[in-house]
Amino acid sequence: MKLLKKSVLLLSIINLTTFANATVLSENQLLAQSSTVALSQAGFYTSVKENESEKKAKSADNKDDADKKKDKKKKEKLKPYEDIVTDKAITSKGVFTTHLVDNKAYFEIPADQFGREFVWQVKTSGTQAGKGVISADIGRQYVIFERHGDYVLLRSRNYSVVAEDGSRESLVVKKASIDGVIAKFPIVTFSKDKAKSPVIDITKVYMGGNKELFPDPRNPKADKLKLNDKTALITKVKSFEKNIEATILAQFNGKKGNETKEVRHSIFALPDTPMKPRFYDKRVGYFSAKYSDYSSNKNKLDTFSFIKRWRLEKKNPELEVSEPKQPIVWYIDRGTPQKFVEAVREGIEFWQPAFEQAGFKNAIIAKMAPSLEENPDWDAEDARYSVVRWVPSGIPNANGPHVADPRSGEIIEADVRMYHNVIKLLEGWYFAQAGATDPRAKKLPLPNDVMSDLVRFVVAHEVGHSTGLHHNFIGNNSYTIEQLRNPEFVKEFGVSASIMDYARFNYVMQPEDGVSPIDYHPGPYDKFVIEWGYKEFKGDLSPKEEVLLLNKIADRQLDDKRLRWDAYSKGSRLDPRILTEAIGDDPVEATRLGQKNKQRILANLIEATSFEPSKGYDELDEAYKTLVQQHARELGHVAKAVGGVMYKNELTQHHDDKDIFVPYPKDKQERAVEFLIENGVDLPEFWNDKNIFKRIGYSKFEEYGNNIIRQAVGGPLAAHRLDSLIQLQAGGHDVMSPVKTMNKFVDAIFGDIKDRKPKSDQYRVMLQDYFVTKLLKDIAPVKTTPNRGRPPAPKLSASFIAMTRGIANDLKVKLQAAAKKHDGNLNGYRYAGLAAKLAEGLEPKLTVNK
């Protein structure tokens, strides 16, 4: 039985076909056959194993062959170093080793530079005449280089999404904010030294192949220029300790034609150790970088901001005032007109007293840019240098951009661009504001000493921006009119609490006051804001621990209004104190005094301007236009009183202070309206000077006078201001009636149409046409794009639309009656036309598409 069981077990592994024709066998026969089958089976498995081994061996051989082929192909792909870096190569060693060979650029990247953070910025360093400006920004990205096997990736890094290191949230934040891939480069060879650094061909990036570095213009209507890589020539690539500078000369193609430009690429390493950041405070005016914090303890996505500032550290922390380890150094471009070089130097070092209040002596210094002989490597476009550039351009402006480390807010490079025609803008402003009070400014063109004062003023303002400071449009409101007419006060405190305001020059002073019209020193706010941003505190405090000490500095605003800050806050749209191009805390009185000075200037305008045979009276024309614009601007300051609500930004950190928004006093609003009617609607006669129009043309009064009308009428009756009155009235505040305010202007503009001889002078006609057009626009407002980063204007209330329609309908009836009364003369026809225009706007005809 045992044997039979064994046989059965053996049989169980035999193929069933063995038994297809089997006969009954004896036990011995069965055993014998079973043994044979068993052996066969064993032999079968042996052969299978042998075959598998053979296959594995063959597979291994094949793999070895494939690897050999792959290695051979890889070796063929990786060219010898000498084939890439030939005898023609221009090699430069620095943060990377760079090679320029036959219009191809190569980076030889050391292993320790992979993962290092850089800022890659692109600028226009040269351009055809009339085809743009030098030093203009094209693109900027924060980047890293990464090696992945046989490739190197150029990746863009975004620092705006954060989570605390080690937090659970940091795991997902890293996944949700990976670095973008800008470009992928195959490694073409390796360096010959022991480091075996990979070498990549970077040419395609320099040739404009990446939108991240050559973004489309922000304006969709702008001509989108594209670099033509077939015409491009890499003229220079040079590596330094922390940066790589490259210049590309190329043709750019656009729908409007072609332009040739010289483009500068600067790749600049971020600091090895980030500076200790400083948290932003909404009461103090610094540019800032905003971050979204996903590890906050608050039950929401929290945000915070770091201010942007230079790294200043005391040489001797024990001293109250110490020189810094490394000062802020500004270079004066050698293209600066010689007559303004000293003014530029003074504009840069204007800020030294402010830094002394923060504890630093000689913190900011100016140097003349070295000549080619003194330093052949020096270049104004080099990212290592901060430069005041004199840009040959007709743009009447200047600006002061900067580049900051996004990890800490540290400013690492900055520029001030003085577009050449800014001097013409300054000359016009100063003549219109100080031509009656500064003996040097009574005749055009202004002398060099005056222009140097103005250049210093603008450079100081722009260097302030490049130091991290924002505008401060409430600084002008800090001083009374009496103080602005006091020579001793102005000498000590200036025209405004801050040069970062658009306060410009002292136009309220009168000839007998003996006041200087221009600032020479930082104002109280300028010193305060530099102290808040740059002061070092003893002890190794964290940024959060510093906040308590910084709050004590900021709280000085509660007792000293000169230290307040505001520019583009949510309250700035309606706050009558937040103004540009204004001075003094009383816009009505300031404008009244300013107009007295302009009357003096107009009386002497023909003598003050020169006649040029080839240009006629162009200078007279331009000077008159500037004076009109200045008066209109000042009327605009007065107009902001209507519907005004003061936003007390200095109180926003204190929970006990509840009066953050306060309606502007009713009596001040009413006084403003009366002044606008007397000096804008009923324009003083001296503005219509026939002796001037004989020389520049009678049409100029209409052309320039519209500036006054837009501010004197359009300013106070702006839709958002009237709507503010409606809302304040509905909220129970004691404010002017919006209907009565509107009707005051209606009576002033159209009150004489019932008279037998209504006013029909040129200015009256302009006023009436403007007012009717404005009413119709307010009934059917057009959506506008917000500017300067401001939020879009709130939607107008139904009450405002209803009021406007009602006043428009009442005026239509009055105009129809006046047209009948004056039927057959020009005024009658004009009134009928205005009535018809209102009727059409109130009841527009439907257009049927057939």
Amino acid at 158: N
pLDDT at 27: 37
- What does the alpha-carbon distance between residue 404 and residue 386 come to, in Å, rounded to a whole number? 13
Q: Are residues 727 and 801 in the same domain?
A: yes
3-state SS record for 64-133: HHHHHHHHHHHHHHCCCHHHHCCCCCEEEECCCEEEEECCEEEEECCHHHCCCCEEEEEEEEEECCCCCC
Q: Do 141 and 169 share a domain, yes or no?
A: yes
Structural domain contains residue 643: no
Strand partners, 382: none
- Residue 300 has a pLDDT of 81
CB 297 within 8 A of CB 305: no
Does residue 628 belong to any structural domain of this protein? no
Q: Confirm if 118 and 143 have CB atoms less than 8 A apart.
A: yes
Helix (H) or strand (E) run with residue 137 in it: strand 136-148
- The pLDDT of residue 14 is 33
Q: What DSSP element (H or E) covers 206? A: helix 203-206
The 10 Å Cβ neighbour count of residue 637 is 25
CB atoms within 10 A of CB 611: 12
Which of the listed residues 250, 269, 288 is the one where a domain comes to its end? 269
Tally helices (H) and strands (E) across the chain. Answer: 24, 22
In a domain, 103, yes or no: yes
Q: What stretches of 543-617 show up as alpha helix (H) in DSSP? A: 543-554, 587-603, 605-608
Distance between CA 744 and CA 676 in Å, rounded?
Answer: 11
Same domain, 101 and 184: yes
Kind plus residue range of the DSSP H or E element containing 403 = strand 402-404
Q: How far is it, in rounded angstroms, from Cα 329 to Cα 324?
A: 12
Number of other CB atoms surrounding residue 271 within 10 Å: 14
CA distance 199 to 206: 16
From CA 182, how far away is CA 144, in angstroms rounded?
10
- DSSP-derived pairing of the beta strands 386-391 and 411-419: parallel
User: How many CB atoms lie under 10 A from the CB of residue 298?
Assistant: 7
Domain stop point among 242, 269, 296: 269
The reply to whether 258 and 136 lie within a common domain is yes
Residue 32 lies in domain: 2-62
Domain-embedded: residue 140: yes
Residues 228 and 111 in one domain: yes
What's the pLDDT score for residue 791?
54
Q: Rounded to two decimals, what is the model's pTM? A: 0.86
H helices present in 583-718, as ranges = 587-603, 605-608, 618-639, 666-676, 690-696, 699-709
Domain boundary among 269, 289, 320: 269
Q: What is the mean pLDDT of each run of 10 residues along the chain (850 residues)?
A: 38 35 37 36 37 54 59 67 95 97 97 96 89 86 96 93 78 81 96 94 89 61 77 95 95 87 94 96 95 82 93 96 98 96 98 98 97 91 92 90 94 94 95 96 95 97 97 96 96 95 95 90 97 96 96 95 93 94 97 98 94 87 97 98 95 77 96 97 94 94 94 97 96 96 97 88 95 93 53 77 96 95 92 95 63
Which pair of tokens denotes residue 568? 């583009």
Residue 333 covered by a domain: no
Assess if residue 748 is contained within a domain.
yes
- The reply to whether 32 and 169 lie within a common domain is no
Q: Is residue 505 part of a domain?
A: no
Residues 120 and 42 in one domain: no
For tokens 């009168």, name the residue: 510
Q: Give the gyration radius of the chain's Cα atoms.
A: 39
Q: Output the DSSP codes for 797-835.
A: PHHHHHHHHHHHHHHHHHHHHHHHHTTTSHHHHHHHHHH
Shared-domain flag, residues 778 and 808: yes
Q: Are residues 50 and 163 in the same domain?
A: no
Q: Which residue has the tokens 């009574």?
A: 442
> How many of the other CB atoms lie within 10 Å of CB of 204?
14
Integer Cα distance of 263 and 137 in angstroms:
10
Q: Give per-residue burial for 461-476: e unless 16+ CB within 10 Å, then b.
A: bbbbbbbbbbbbbbbb
Domains identified in the chain, total number: 3
Is 694 part of any domain?
no
Unique residue bearing structure tokens 């950041």? 277
Instruction: Give kind and range of the element (H or E) at residue 261.
Output: strand 257-269
pLDDT of residue 32: 38
237 and 110 together in one domain:
yes
726/834 same-domain check: yes
Among 275, 283, 276, 274, which residue's Cα sits nearest to residue 532? 283
Do 55 and 101 belong together in one domain?
A: no
